[in-house]
């Protein structure tokens, strides 16, 4: 299950809407080993494409250096699909290389309704997981399940 | 002196969990061959028959080696090499 706070959830959705019809991408970093997505880091889609995303290689190095220095890891890796459902594409699965991350997919294909889904992608196997949106990550019980 | 190579999480299965390994060589290709001799399997995750794999980024002292000389990039003692898988998809 992915537990994410409302403000970060909203930032991811806003980024996806802003970059539509191109795919938006980024990470939410968190302290290593905690599974807590705390620091929203929108990234530039170097591909600037409606069907592909890729972090710029220089940005990627700076991001990983920064996370290393702060003892963080990429808890969430997100990107948008702008014409299809919020489900990992074959390309997403074959290129997924962070087995510890929650891969968040946001679909902006409908203007007034956003799909927000989370998956684990490990060794080519996709597993959907529940998304629990909470007001703050320190809160004990989820307020909503994140479903539309 | 030697060359430090930082290994990403997904490839640490080849380094016994180590975040960084050391190696030597005068080019990136030689360095990878040297590391492969102690960490078998790593090379195949970095290179294919055409050269460096498209979705693996290798940096020499913070510069993407694609903008240097790829596998033929010169390396020397004291250099730092970082390997990072691309974050990409469709």
All domains of chain A in start order, with CATH: 2-134 (3.40.140.10)
pLDDT score of A137 more than 70: yes
Report DSSP state, residue A51. Answer: S
User: Measured between CB atoms, which of B8, B9, B90 is closest to A92?
Assistant: B90
The pLDDT assigned to A142 comes to 52
pTM for the model: 0.92
The pair of structure tokens assigned to B3 is: 């060359």
User: Measured between CB atoms, which of B9, B87, B89 is closest to A60?
Assistant: B87
All domains of chain B in start order, with CATH: 3-85 (3.10.20.30)
Q: Which residues contact A106 (CB under 8 A, 6 or more apart)?
A: A12, A13, A16, A24, A78, A79, A80, A81, A86, A114, A115, A116, A117
Which residues on B lie below 8 Å from A126 (Cβ)?
Answer: none
ipTM value: 0.91
Report DSSP state, residue B85. Answer: E
**Which residue would you say has higher pLDDT here, A142 or A86?**
A86
Report DSSP state, residue B71. Answer: G
Mutation site, A60, A71, A123, interface B, largest B CB count within 10 A:
A60
User: Measured between CB atoms, which of A61, A95, A100 is closest to B9?
Assistant: A100
The pLDDT assigned to A139 comes to 56
Distances from the Cα of A136 to the Cα of A5, A7, A36, A38, angstroms: 5, 8, 11, 10
């Amino acid at each position: 299950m992915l537990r994410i706070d409302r403000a970060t959830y909203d930032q991811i959705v806003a980024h996806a809407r802003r970059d539509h019809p191109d795919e938006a991408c980024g990470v939410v970093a968190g302290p290593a080993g905690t599974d807590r997505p705390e620091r929203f880091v929108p990234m530039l889609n170097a591909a600037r494409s409606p069907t592909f995303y890729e972090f710029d290689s220089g940005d990627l190095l700076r991001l990983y250096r920064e996370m290393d220095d702060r003892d963080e890891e990429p808890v969430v890796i997100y990107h948008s699909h702008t014409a299809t459902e919020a489900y990992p594409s074959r390309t997403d699965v074959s290129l997924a290389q962070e087995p510890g991350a929650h891969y968040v997919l946001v679909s902006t294909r409908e203007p007034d309704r956003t799909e927000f889904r989370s998956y684990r992608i490990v060794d080519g196997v996709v597993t959907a997981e529940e998304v629990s949106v909470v007001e703050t990550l320190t809160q004990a019980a989820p307020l909503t399940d994140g479903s539309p | 002196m030697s060359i430090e190579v930082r290994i990403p999480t997904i490839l640490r299965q080849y380094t016994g969990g180590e975040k960084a390994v050391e190696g030597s060589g005068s080019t990136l290709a030689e360095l990878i061959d040297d590391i492969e001799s102690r960490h078998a399997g790593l090379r195949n995750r970095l290179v294919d028959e055409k050269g460096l794999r498209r979705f693996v980024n290798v940096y020499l002292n913070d510069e993407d080696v694609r903008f240097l000389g790829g596998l033929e990039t010169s390396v020397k003692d004291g250099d730092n090499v970082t390997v990072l898988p691309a974050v990409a998809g469709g």
